[in-house]
Structure 1
Amino acid sequence: MMISLALRTLRHRVAAFAGAFFALLCAAALVCACLMLLETGLRGDVVPERYAGAPAVVAADQFVRQTVVKGDGDTKTKAKALGERAWLPESVVAGLRRDGLKVVTEVTFPFGGFTGHGWESAALTPFTIAKGRAPRADDEVAVDARAGLDVGAELRGYRVVGVTAQALPSQDTVFFSTARARSLAGHPGRVSAAGVFPGLDRAPEGAVLYTGDERGRLEFLDAEQARLKLISMGGSLAGTSLLVAILVVMGTFALSIQQRQRELALLRAIAATPKQVRGLVGGEALLVAAAAGTLGAAVGIGLGFWLRGQFVTLGAVPANLHLVVSPFPPLVALAATVGAAWVAARVSARRLTRIRPVEALGEAALGPARLPWWRLVAGLVALAGGVTLTLVLSGLHIEAAATPVTLLTALVWTTAFTLLGPVVARVVAALLAVPLRISRVGGFLAARNLRAGSGTLASVMSPLTLMVAMTCTILFVQTTMGYAAQEQADAGTRADYVVAGASGAAARAVPGVLSATEVLRTSVRVGLDKYAAQAVARPSGTLDLGVVAGSMDAFGDGTAAISRTAADRLGLRPGDPLKLTLGDGTPAALTVAAVYSRGLAFGDVTLPYALVTGHVDNPSATLLVRAPGVRAATLTAALPGASVLDRATAAEVSAANPQVTFVALGLIIAFTAIAVVNTLAMATSARSGELAALRLAGTTRRQVLRMLRLETLGAVLAASVLGSVVALVTLAAFGAGMTGSAVPHVPLWTFAGVIAAAAVLSLAATALPARLALRSAA
C-alpha cells in the first residue's frame, strides 16, 4: 500500500523529486565508471601482436617474488612487477633446442619512435618481406609497411633494404641484422623472449611460460604496469566516489524531506502511523533510486569508456588494454545508490516519525529546537575520525599510500561539518547578520531568512563545503608535491645544461665543459617495496643531493646512497648493508654510503651508473653538463644530433605532467559541483510561495533577487571558509609526511578561481529558479 501511495506521490510531485533523481543518477554513473576501471585492472588482458604467431613464448620472470611465513606457520608467496624487462639467459634457449624443439629468439629495444628487433625473430608474428630483402649487414634495416619508407631510403643512419608486408596495430617496427640487434640491445648472452614451436606444456627451469593472451602481458609490459595503476586508482576512486555520493545523496534527501516536513506532519496528524510514514518515504526513495540508478549505471558505462579514452590519450594506459565490460559495475552502482537513497530517506524522516503528531506539526512550522542527539554523537565521532586520520596522514611518506588517505581525511572532516551543520549554520547566520545590514531591505530579509532557516542553510552549505574542500585538496596536493620537488631540484642541480643523445665522454671533450654526469632513471625494489631510483656517474660538480649522513666521497662500486625517507622506512644508516632488486630482477648487495634529503627531486635510491646501465630497457643516459662559460649553441654544434637544454628549460619540461590524476579526480569535483547546483536549485524552487508572499507584501522584484543573492553569497562565504579549513588541515598533514613541511603550496590565483567558481555556480543555480518563481508569482 505504501509503495502504491509513494508512486502516486511521485507522479504528482515530479519537480520536487527531480533534484534527488539527478543526484542519484550522477552518483550511479560516477561509481559505475570507477568500478569499470578497477575491474579492467583486475581482469583486463591485451591481445598479443608481436607474439601472435608463436603458440608458446618463454621468457624470464617479470616479477620479484617473496615468500612470507604467516602466523599459523603457512607460507605465502607475494609478487610485484618489475620496473624494467627481465632478460632470459640463452642457456635456457639452448636447453629447449637440445630437447628437439624449434625455438625462435628475439631481442627488443627502443630505436627512436620504433621498436627494434633482430630479423631472426620475424617468424614470431610472422613478418614477411614485401619489397627488397632482409637486413644482413650492420648498416641495414627492414621497416614495416606503415613506416612510409621505400628500399634505398635512410633511417637514422641506416639504409633501408627491405619493407615488410605487415605492420603491427600499436607498434612501429624496424628490423636489424641479428648481430647488430644483439649489440644495440646491450644484453650479451640474453634474449628478450623465445617463441617455441609447436608449443610447450610446462616452463623450463629458470623461465616462465606464456600462452594465449598471457603472451600479450609479456609483450606489453607497460600494460601490466597500467593494470596495476588502474587497480590502485580505480579502487581509490571508487571508494572515494561512493563516500562522496553517499554524502551528497543524504544531503539531497535531507533537503527534500525538510521541504515536505509539513506534508508528512499532516499525515501523522490524520492518524498515519510512524511505520506507514517511514514506508512512504522509503518507498519513494526506492522508486526514485531504482529509476535514477538504472539510467545512471548506463551513463556510467559510457563514462567509463570516456575515461579509458582519456587515459590512452595521456599515455597512462596502452591502446590495446581494452576496457572490461561486465554486469558487476552497473549492478554495484545501482545497489549502492538504491541503498544510499533508502538509508538517507529513512534517516532524514527519523525524527518526524518518532515524535507526537502535534509536535510534528509544530516542528514543521518552526523547525527543530535542537540538534538530534544521534546526529550530535555522529558528528563528534566524525570529528574524532578526522583528527585520527590527520595524524595518520602526517606520518605517511609514500605517495601511493598517502593519496587515498588524503582524500578520505578531507571527506571525513567534511562529513563532520555536515552532521553538525545546523549548529554551524546558526553560528554562521549570527555572524552574517551584521554585514548583511548594509543592504536595508534585501540584507535585512536575508539575515532574517538565514537565522530562521538554519536547516536549509546547513543543507546548502554541505555540498558547497564539500566542493571547496575536495577541489582544493585535489589541486593543491599536486602543487605542494611539485613545488617541493622543484625546490629540491633547483637547490641540488649544479649543471648548466641537460643534454640528451650524446655520450658523457663526448661532452667532457668539449672545451669549457668542467664536468658531465650520466644519469639514468629507473626503479628498484627493496623486498617488495618499490623505490624511484637514479644511476649516476661522476656526480661531483653537477649534483648536490643534500647529504645529511655519510659522504658521497665514499660513493662508488658496491655502494648506494638513499634518501632520508627511505632510510627512515628501512631503518638504515651509512655503513649498513642494503639488499635490493634492480629494475630487471637482478639482485644486488650494496653498502649505504650516504643518506640525503632531496629524494623528491632525485629519487629515493642513487646507484652507481656502471651497476645499472646493463639492467634497463633504454640505456641512453641524460647528461648533466657543467659548462659556465659555454653557450648552448656552441655545445649543440660540438655534439651533433644531441638535444641541449639550459637548466631552466629542462626543469619546465621535466615538470610537465600528463595530469592523469586531474582527469580522474576531476570527475569527483564535477560531481560535487553538480550537487551544489542541484541543491541550490531545489532550495530556491521550494520557496516560490515565500517569494510570492514577499511580492504581495510590497517587496520589489529587485529587492527579492538581492535578498536571494545575499543569502547565497553568505552561504558561499561560510562554506568557503569551512572547506578551506578542511583542505588546509588535510594538506598540512600531507605535506608534513611527504615533503617534511606542514606549509602547503597554494597558488593564490588558483585558490581565488576555486572560490569564484563556487560563487558563480551558486548564484547561477539560485537566480534561474528564482526568476521563474517570480515570473509565475506575477
Structure 2
Amino acid sequence: MFRTALRNVLAHKARLLMTVLAVMLGVAFVSGTLVFTNTISDAYQKSSAKGFDQVDVAIRPDGGHETRRDKIAEEPQLTQALLDKAAKVQGAGSTVGVVNGFTAIADKHGKLIGGGYQSQGGNYWKTADARYPLVSGHAPTGADQILIDSKTAERAGYKVGDTVRLSIDGPVLTPKVTGIFTTDDGNVAAGGSLVLFDTATAQRLFHKPGAYDEIDVKAASGTSQIALRNALDQILPKNTASTTTGKQLADDQAKEIADATSSMRTALLVFAGIALFVGTFIIANTFTMLVAQRTKELALLRAVGASRRQVTRSVLIEAFVVGAVAAVTGLVAGIGIGAGLRSLVGSLGGTVPDGPLVITPGTVVAALAVGILITMLAAWLPGRRAAKIPPVAAMSSVHAKATTKSLVVRNTIGALFAAAGIATVVYATTLNASDGQGPMGLGAVLLIIGVFVLTPLLSRPLIAAAAPVMRVFGIAGKLARQNSVRNPRRTAATASALMIGLTLITGLTVMAGSLQTAIDKMASSAIKADYVVSMANRNELSPDVEKTLRTTDGVTAISPLRNAPARVEGDTEYVTGVNGAAIGKLTDLKVDDGAFKVGGSQVVVDDETAKNHHWTAGSRFTAAYEDGRKQQLTVTGVYQSTEMMRGIMLDNATLSPHLRHPADMQVMVKMSGGATASAKSALQKALGDNPAILVQDKKDISNSIAQIFTLMLNMLYGLLAMAVIVAVLGVINTLAMSVFERSQEIGMLRAIGLDRKGIKRMVRLESLVISLFGGVLGIGLGVFFGWAAGELLGTKMSTYELVLPWGRMAVFLLLAGVVGVLAALWPARRAARLNMLAAIKSE
C-alpha cells in the first residue's frame, strides 16, 4: 500500500502541483513570520543587555503625583545629596547621576532625525563617562556644546565642529558638536538619536535643577548586585526611591521588546493562519476530486483484499508526502521571506540592531508540523469517505451522490451555525468595545463556518440568478451555468476560498472608510481654530511658543491648552488652562446649560464631568492645585464633550501661578486670512522652522490621526493578498481537475459541433460564475462584519457612522471576476486542446 501511495503521487504530478503551492505559501508565511520576529527580538534583546553593562544597581524615584486630601504631592526627586550618600555605600564603585528627556535633532535639511518618539537627550557624566565612549572630540562643557551618537552623525553627515539645530520643548537651540560617541542603547540601535549635554545643562533643559532621573551605581570588585542593592536600600528615604539591579533592568527591557514583537508576530500569524485556512479548502477539494477519480482503482484494491484502514492510510500517505515536500519548500522560502522583511524594514527608513538571522528549532518544527498536519487533516475525510464505498458499488460507479438525509443534516447544521454566529455578533454590538471583542470574534467564526456549510445550498439560487446574462453567450453560457451547479460541494469549496479573502478585505475597507469619516468630523466638529501647534512626539510645549506666535503677523486669536492636576471633591481631575478671552473664538462646543464663559474663578465643564459631580450652571466647587493652594470656582456652563475637547476649562491667568513648570499640550491659532499655505509658512517661520513642532490645520490633524489606520490597512491588504493568491490557485486547481473529470463529455461536445473557442468560453464562464459567486458572498459578509465592528467602535467614538464604499466594493467584485477569468486561462486552453476521439474513449 505504501508503494501504491507513492506511485499515485508520482502519477498525478500536475494535479498535485497546485496543492503543493497552496501549502507551501501558507508554510512560507508562517515560517517567514517566525524567522523575522525571532531575528528582531533576539537583536534587540542582545542590544538592551549590552546597554546595562555599566549598571549594577539603579536608584529610581518611587511614585509621583500622589494625591493628598488637600494638594497634589510633588514628584519625588533624586538629589545630589542622595547621590553622594550612594557613592559612599560599602561595595559601591563608580556612581553616575542620569538625566534624560525628549530632544529632537534636525539633519542638515531640517528634517527630524529619529522619528520623534525615539529622539532622546541625556547628560554626559563629568569629563569621562564609561557609558558613552568617545570616538572623537571632547566632553561638552557649556550650554552651547553637545555630543551626538555615531549612528546619528553618520545618518545626518555631522562631524565635530558642526552647528546643529535641536529642540527640547519648542524653542530652537543651535549648539556645536564637540564630540561623537558610541552606545549600545536600544533606541539608537532601532534608528533613534541620542544627544548628550553636560549635567548642569541637561538638568536645566529638562526642568530638573539639581536633581536626577536615575542614579546608576557600579559595584566594586567582589561585590554582587544583590549585596550592593541591599546596602543601598538602607540609605534610601522612605517612599521616595527604590532600587533595581542591572540584571533586572536588562530582563525587563528584554521582556518589553519580546512583548512588542510578540504582538507583531501574533498579528502576522493570524493572517498566515487565514492563508492556511483558505489553503485547507483547496487541499480538501483536491483530494476529494483525486479520490473520486480513482474510485474504481480503490474499489479494485478493496476487492483484492485491502481493508478500509489500508485505503484510508494510502490516501493519508499521499497527503503526508505532498505535505512534507510543501513544508520543506515553504520553510526554505520562509527563511528568505524573513530575511527580505528585515531588509524591507531598512529600506522603509527603519533600523534594527545588527545580528544574525535566527532560525530556531521551534520555527523548523512549526513549519513542518503545519504543512504536514494541515495536508493530512484535509485529506483524511476524502480518504475515509472513499474507504467506506462498497467495492461492487464503486466498480459500477453507483456512488458519490449525496443522500437527501445527508443534505438535510448538512443544511440544518449550517443554518444553526449561521444563526448562532449572527446572534452572537449582534449581541456583541450591544456591549462596550473591550467586552465585545471576544463575542464578536466568536460570532464571526461561527457565521463563516455556517455560511461555508450552507454554500452548496446557496450556490443554486445565486448562480441561477445569472441565467439571463449567461444566455447571451449561447450554448457555452448555458453549459457553463449547468456545470457550475452540477457539483455544488466542489463549487462551494472553490468559492469559499475566495469568499474568506474578500470578506476580510471588504470588512476592513468598510471600517477604514467609516473611521476616516469619523476622524474628519472629530477634527472639525469642535474646532474653529485654523491651526493647532504641538510637539511632534506630543510632549509638552514651552510657554515661549505661545508668546512667539502671539506676536506673529496675521494671528487674530490664540490660546494655549495647559493641562494640570487638581484635587476636586476628593478626586484628582485634570484641568485645562485656556485663554478665556479667545477660547470661544477658537472652539465650537455646544453648550447644554448656562453660557460658555471662562475668566477669573469662572469655569466651564464637559457634560460627563458635570454628571459625575452633579454640577449644573451656577454650581460651585473647591479646587486644590499642585502647590497646595485652594480656590473656589463657579461653573458658568456645561458643554458637550468631544474626542478633541473635554474636562474642566479655566483661565490660564488663574491656573498658571499655581504651576511649578507651566507647559502647554498644544496652542490653537486663528489667522486673519484663514488656513492658507502662506499663513502656515508664516507660523513655521516664526518658530524657526523647527522640525520638532507640528503646525497642523484640520485636514492635517485628520490625516495624522488616520495615518496609523491607513498604514495598518495597507499592511493588512498586503497580508490578505496571500489568502487571495491561494484562493486563485484553488480556482485553477478545481477547473483543471474538473476538465480532466469531464474529458469524455468535452470530447462529445467537440464531436457534435462545439468548436475550441466555445469550449474555452464555457470553461472561462464557469470560472467567472464561481468566482463572482464567492465575491458576492464575501462582500456581503464583509459589509456585515464591517457594520458590526463599527457599532463596537462607536461606543468609543461618538462621531462614528457607517459609510459603505460602493466604488471599492464594485472594484472588489470586478477583481473577483478578473480572478475567475485569469484562473481559467490554463484549464480552458487544456480543455480546448483535448483530442476529441481520445477523450470520448477515456473512462
Task: Give 2:479's aligned residue.
Answer: 445
Q: CA deviation at 1:393?
A: 3.9
CA displacement at 1:248 relative to structure 2: 2.9
Query: Would the aligned equivalents of 2:37 and 2:265 in 1 still touch at CA under 8 Å?
Result: yes
d(CA) in 2 for partners of 1:210, 1:623: 42
- Displacement of 1:28 in angstroms is 1.8
Matched, 1:286 2:291: no
In the aligned structure 1, how far is the partner of 2:86 from the partner of 2:135? 32
User: Within the alignment, does 1:163 sit opposite 2:182 as a pair?
Assistant: no
Given that 1:293 and 1:334 are in contact with CA atoms closer than 8 Å, whether structure 2 keeps it comes out as yes
- Residue 584 of structure 1 is matched in structure 2 by none
Residue from 548, 569, 573 that aligns with 1:506: 548
| Change beyond 3 A, Cα 1:366–1:336 | closer
1:252 to 266, 275, 283: 283
Q: Is the 8 Å Cα contact of residues 510 and 787 (structure 2) preserved in structure 1?
A: no
- Alignment partner, residue 175 of structure 1: 196
CA distance in 1, matches of 2:419, 2:37: 31
Tell me the residue number matched to 2:468. 434
Q: Is 1:106 aligned to 2:98, yes or no?
A: yes
User: How many residues matched?
Assistant: 721
Range moving further from structure 2, 425-434 or 235-244:
235-244
Q: Could you tell me which residue of structure 1 aligns to residue 169 of structure 2?
A: none
- Whether 2:387 is the aligned partner of 1:336: answer no
Query: Aligned to 1:58, what secondary structure does the other structure show?
Result: strand
* Per-residue deviation, 1:728: 1.0
Distance 1:150 1:387, change over 3 A: closer
Distance across 2 between alignment mates of 1:288 and 1:556:
79
RMSD between aligned alpha carbons? 4.6
Change in 2 beyond 3 A, CA 1:211/1:734: same
Output aligned runs, 1:615-630, within 5 Å. Answer: 621-629=665-673
In the TM superposition, what whole-angstrom CA distance separates every residue of 1:452-472 from its partner, at most 9, and x where no partner exists? Answer: 232332122111211211111
Q: Matches of 1:408 and 1:40 in 2, distance apart?
A: 33
Distance of 1:606 and 1:715 partners within structure 2: 59
* CA distance in structure 2 between the aligned counterparts of 1:334 and 1:450, rounded to whole angstroms: 36
Q: Distance in 2 between matches of 1:620 and 1:318?
A: 34
Alignment of 1:485-634 (within 5 A): 485-500=519-534, 503-510=545-552, 513-518=555-560, 537-538=578-579, 540-544=584-588, 598-599=642-643, 602=644, 621-629=665-673, 632=679, 634=682
Distance 1:365 1:49, change over 3 A: closer
Find 1:117's aligned residue among 115, 119, 122: 122
Answer yes or no: is 1:230 the counterpart of 2:220.
no
**Mapped partners of 1:63, 1:13: distance in 2:** 69
| Alignment pair present for 1:390 and 2:425 | yes
CA drift at 1:735: 0.8
Question: Is 1:756 the counterpart of 2:814 in the alignment?
Answer: yes
Q: Does 1:264 align with 2:295?
A: yes
Q: Deviations over 1:30-63 (max 9, x none)?
A: 2334455776798862513984551425154899
Indicate the larger mover: 618-627 or 766-775. Answer: 618-627
C-alpha contact 2:515 2:800 (8 A) present in aligned 1: no
Counterpart of 2:734 in structure 1 is 683
Question: For structure 2, which runs of at least 5 residues remain unmatched after alignment?
Answer: 65-74, 106-118, 166-172, 536-543, 565-573, 617-634, 837-843
Code of the residue aligned with 1:258 in structure 2: it is: M
Provide the residue aligned with 2:751 in structure 1.
696
Q: Give the 5 Å matches for 1:188-207.
A: 188=209, 190-198=211-219, 200-201=225-226, 202=229, 204=233, 206-207=241-242
- Partner amino acid for 1:760? V
Of 681-690 and 303-312, the range deviating more from structure 2: 303-312
2:45 equivalent in structure 1: 45
CA–CA distance in structure 2, aligned partners of residues 59 and 324 of structure 1: 35
Give the conservation status (yes or no) of the 8 Å contact 1:247–1:415.
no
Q: Where does 1:13-24 land on structure 2 (aligned, <5 Å)?
A: 13-24=12-23
Partner SS, residue 196 of structure 2: strand
Q: Structure 1 residue 450: deviation in Å?
A: 1.9
Q: Deviations over 1:263-299 (max 9, x none)?
A: 1354236524432322222222222122212332333
- Shift in Å at residue 489 of structure 1? 1.2
Corresponding residue SS for 2:47 = coil
Contact 2:27 2:330 in 1 (8 A): yes
Contact preservation (8 Å) 2:126, 2:198? no
**Letter of the 1:32 counterpart:** S
Counterpart of 2:125, as a letter, is E
Specify the SS of the correspondent of 1:386: helix
Q: CA deviation at 1:421?
A: 2.2
Give per-residue Cα distances to partners, 1:291-317, cap 9 Å, x unaligned. 212332333343344445555666888
2: distance between equivalents of 1:61 and 1:635? Answer: 39
Q: Which residue number corresponds to residue 209 of structure 1?
A: 244
- Corresponding residue for residue 673 of structure 1: 724
The alpha-carbon distance between structure 1 residues 426 and 496, as it changes in their structure 2 partners (threshold 3 A), is same
Taking a change above 3 Å as real, the CA distance of residues 341 and 303 of structure 1, as seen in their structure-2 partners, is: same
Q: Deviations over 1:612-634 (max 9, x none)?
A: x9999x97744221234466055
Summarize the alignment of residues 130-169 of structure 1 with structure 2, pairs less than 5 Å apart: 133-145=138-150, 147=153, 148-156=157-165, 157-160=173-176, 162-164=178-180, 166=182
Q: Deviations over 1:641-676 (max 9, x none)?
A: 456444334543553338553465345412221222
Equivalent-residue separation in structure 2 for 1:708 and 1:13 (angstroms) = 22
Please state how far the C-alpha of 1:208 moved relative to its aligned partner: 4.6
Q: In 2, Cα distance between the equivalents of 1:62 and 1:353?
A: 70
Rg bigger for which structure? 2
What TM-score does the superposition give when structure 2 sets the normalisation length? 0.73
Assess, with a 3 A threshold, how the Cα gap between structure 1 residues 595 and 374 changes in structure 2: closer, same or farther: farther
Aligned mates of 2:12, 2:593 — CA distance in 1: 71
Partner-residue secondary structure (3-state), 2:586: coil
Separation in structure 1 between the aligned mates of residue 364 and residue 600 of structure 2, nearest angstrom: 55
Provide structure 1 residue ranges, at least 5 long, that are not aligned to the other structure: 65-85, 523-532, 577-591
Percentage identity across paired residues of the two chains:
21
Deviations 1:203-233 (A, max 9, x none): 7463352535944865xxxx87664443334
Q: 1:165 to 1:727 in 2, by over 3 A?
A: closer
In structure 2, C-alpha distance between the alignment counterparts of 1:707 and 1:231, rounded to whole Å: 49
Question: Which runs of structure 2 are paired with 1:452-467 in the superposition (5 Å)?
Answer: 452-467=486-501
Question: What letter is aligned with 1:413?
Answer: L
Matched, 1:771 2:829: yes
Matched, 1:242 2:273: yes
Deviation at 1:162, TM superposition (A): 1.6
Q: Could you tell me the TM-score, scaled by structure 1's length?
A: 0.79
Q: How does 1:82-93 map to 2 (within 5 A)?
A: 89-90=78-79, 93=83
Q: What is the deviation of 1:15?
A: 1.7
Matches of 1:137 and 1:295, distance apart in 2: 61
Structure 2 CA distance for aligned equivalents of residues 224 and 606 of structure 1: 38
Amino acid at match of 1:424: L
Please give the alpha-carbon distance, in whole angstroms, between the structure 2 residues aligned to 1:425 and 1:197. 73
